[in-house]
Amino acid sequence: MEFETRLIHGHADGEGDVTPPIYQTSTFAFADAESMARASATPGYERFYTRYGNPNHAQVERVVASIEGGEAAMVSASGMGAISATVLALTQAGGHVVAQSAIYDGTRKLMSNVLSRFGVDATFVDQTDPQAFAEAMRENTALVLLETPSNPLLGVTDLRAVGTIAHERGALVAVDNTIATPVNQNPLAFGADVVLHSATKYLGGHSDLLAGVAVASRALIDRIWQTHHIVGATLGPFEAWLLLRGLRTLDMRVQRHNANASALAAYLRDHPRVTRVYYPGLENHPCHDVARAQMRGYGGLLSFEIDGSFEDARRVIDRLQLVHSAVSLGGVESLIAQPGAMWSGHGKGSSLLRLSVGLEAIGDLIADFERALQ
């Protein structure tokens, strides 16, 4: 089946429900003690106890594994739930992680504030410089953590180059693919070992749930699950069902996100009050060539700087009528945020604005920015 078809039919287990029921149950009854004991020993078994697995989890896991080109997947209660379980499962005291410095704030804090207390060191390097990864690798490096494109400057990591460096030194590679989405990029095809998603964003797509997913080989997912089901960031069955509903339209939505963001990036690039646009689809983006080589589309996220101060940028946000002022990304509605006001190390004091371009008519979005920038 093609990608779009798998989004719609890939959850099915042959039971015949067009829209699956919600298994809103914490536990499952067994016919006999023997089958109950067997279920308890099977990683992710979908009818034992919902922290271990649930049929609604299994449906989403089949779809996301399939569209990422992986053998297996594991859902969690949030993107950070999936990232934390993965990093905790694949590292140990005395170990070392190499991560790109432009990485999701929660992932950075997981390394700097949490894992550091358990004897796992991290080195942060420039994602655009494969040589920097090579130099940061140590004998005890177990994991290389990537995110491409990254937030908020849409830096791009060369997945094949960095993956080769990591594998030569015996480290595993995990890639946060939240911003690209599986419509635009499949890191496993470039040699990554684990793909991570905040399904809160494009996979869910409607700003109405929190969820996370990890995709990898069956053996790696089983290993991650051994930590995950103990740490306990379990996705609720209803959220899993909502996520499956969102996934059905992922391809259509992301095609439109790509088109709207490309059009808005070009509009902003040509606007006299805008000094710089960060969008990997623009030919003058410093990572455009790497992006073109590994992405099928450039996604719905962009950032830009205006010809003005931090306060002027704040005024632009306040003048927008259609675009909401909110964090998060990947929903049907356009959202704008000022990175320098919220996240460490990103555009402090600058006029940088980050925009998650939604699915509104492009003419309405451009009109909103035209008004606000004036």
- Which residue ranges make up the site for ligand PLP (CB under 6 A)? 78-80, 104, 106, 147, 151, 176, 178-179, 198, 200-201, 210, 212
Closest approach of ligand PLP to the CB of residue 307, in Å: 28
Select the residue whose beta carbon is closest to ligand PLP and give its number: 79
> Is the peptide bond between 152 and the residue preceding it cis, with omega within 30 degrees of 0?
yes
Closest separation between CB of residue 335 and ligand PLP, Å?
A: 12
Catalytic site residue 176? Answer: yes
Catalytic-labelled residue, pool 201, 248, 256, 354: 201
Q: Quick one: 28 or 79, whose CB is closer to ligand PLP? A: 79
Residue whose structure tokens are 């509104």: 360
DSSP string, 15-54: S--SSPPP---SB---SSHHHHHHHHTSTT-TTSBTTT--
Identify which of residues 200 and 351 has a Cβ nearer to ligand PLP in the complex: 200
In terms of residues, how long is the chain?
374
In b/e form, how buried is each residue of 106-123, taking b as 16+ CB within 10 angstroms? ebbebbeeebeeeebbbb
Q: Which is nearer to ligand PLP, 200 or 260 (CB)?
A: 200
Q: Residue 72 or residue 110: which is nearer to ligand PLP going by CB? A: 110
Active site residue 47: no
Closer to ligand PLP by Cβ: residue 28 or 298: 298
Is 51 marked active-site? yes
- Catalytic (active site) residue 52: no
* CB 332, min distance to ligand PLP, A: 16
245 to 2, 77, 208, 313: CA distances (angstroms): 18, 16, 12, 36
Which of 23, 158, 176, 279 is labelled catalytic? 176
Rounded Cα distance between 269 and 274, Å, is: 7
Q: Dihedrals φ, ψ of 195, to 5°?
A: -110, 135
Q: Choose the catalytic residue: 6, 45, 49, 51.
A: 51
**Hey, which residues does 195 pair with through a beta bridge?**
175, 215
Q: Rank residues 75 and 179 by Cβ distance to ligand PLP and give the closer one.
A: 179
Shortest distance, CB of residue 30 to ligand PLP, whole angstroms?
33
Cβ 9 to ligand PLP shortest distance, Å:
26
Strands (E), the chain: 72-76, 96-100, 121-125, 141-147, 172-176, 194-198, 212-216, 274-278, 301-306, 324-325, 335-337, 352-356
Q: How far is the CB of 367 from ligand PLP (least distance, A)?
A: 28
> Please, are residues 357 and 256 in contact by the beta-carbon 8 Å criterion?
no
Q: Name the residues annotated as catalytic.
A: 51, 104, 176, 201
